[in-house]
Amino acid sequence: MTEFSSEEKTILVQYGIKKYENEAIVNEKLKTILSEKDIQRNIDTLIGTQRVRRIGPEILQNNESHTELPDLPDNLKSIIDIL
């Protein structure tokens, strides 16, 4: 697994949520590049900081009315494209 900074991990999770919304699918897609612990920790942090909201038992959504998605760094674009 590639080493990512904590900010990069958060960005990957946010863009994974934007792409899939279903928490189980987000976990499945991201576990090839992040540990399950990192994925869950970032989801919890994003919910706690209101950058992501839970819409149902399995559905997550970026809270774009509250905060904008961060810019996607060039080194993460190819990763998000293949998710």
Match 């279903």 to its residue by tokens: 22
Looking at residue 62, its pLDDT comes to 95
* The model scores a pTM over 0.85: yes
| pLDDT reading at 32 higher than 90 | yes
DSSP secondary structure letters along 38-57: HHHHHHHHHHHTTSEEE-SS
Q: Which fold, 6-63+70-76? A: Arc Repressor Mutant, subunit A (1.10.10)
What is the spatial distance between Cα 83 and Cα 79, in angstroms, rounded to a whole number? Answer: 6
Q: What residue segments make up the domains of the chain, in order of their start? A: 6-63+70-76
Neighbouring residues of 16: CB distance < 8 A, sequence distance ≥ 6: 26, 29, 30, 80, 83
With cut-offs at 50, 70 and 90, classify the pLDDT of residue 1: low
What is the spatial distance between Cα 15 and Cα 10, in angstroms, rounded to a whole number? Answer: 9
